Amino acid sequence: MRGSVEAIAITPEESALPGAVEEIEVTADGVVGDRHGGSRDLTLIEAEALKAFTVETGIELSHVESRRQVLTRGIRLNDLVGERFTVGEVEVVGRELCEPCNHLQSLTRPGVLRGMVHRAGINADIVRGGRIAIGDRVSSDAWQSS
């Protein structure tokens, strides 16, 4: 399976809103410059899931509002839970679905919680750090050849 990185957003401080960036550096300890940098994971969400959510509910939710670091296109992230894959130079293992929470709904609008169940992205454990940039490949088989 292959897709691509469409957008990246990080949150530098607790009270700050996520901001779009062109690329990020990821270490074994997390995303450099992100307030969750020490959490040792990467969060991803599908552009297709956000679009489907908007079509079905009439509620528009942006990648930045979703509070996920990486927006992908062309790859089914839910299928990567339990799988090893790469995002740009970074190797990760899909750990779990990122289910929506009351906090996300309180930051956005009513209906987000129910509408995003099972399509709010995934958390992935970082195996090997590196750089991720917009346009990079997301692949579940590239790590095997490196």
Q: pLDDT tens digits for 123-146?
A: 999 999 999 999 999 999 744 544
Task: Report how many domains make up the chain.
Answer: 1
Q: Is the pLDDT of residue 105 over 50?
A: yes
- Mean pLDDT of all residues in 22-43: 86
- Asked if the model's pLDDT at residue 52 lies above 80, the reply is yes
CA angle 119, 123, 127 (to 5 degrees): 145
pLDDT at res. 120 = 84
pLDDT of residue 11: 86
Sheet bearing 23-27, strands edge to edge: 30-31, 23-27, 130-133
Q: Is the pLDDT of residue 78 over 50?
A: yes
| Domain range enclosing 11 | 2-145
State mean pLDDT over 96-119. Answer: 75
Q: What is the pLDDT of residue 67?
A: 83
Sign, CA torsion 106/126/53/12: positive
Say which CATH number the domain at 33 has. 2.40.33.20
Mean pLDDT score of the chain: 86
Strand intervals (E) in 11-146: 19-21, 23-27, 30-31, 41-46, 70-73, 84-87, 90-97, 122-128, 130-133, 137-139
- At 62, give phi and psi (nearest 5°): -85, 165
Maximum pairwise Cα distance, the chain: 45
Q: 130 and 5 in contact (C-beta within 8 Å)?
A: no
First to last CA, the chain: 16
Residue 5 or residue 59, greater confidence: 5
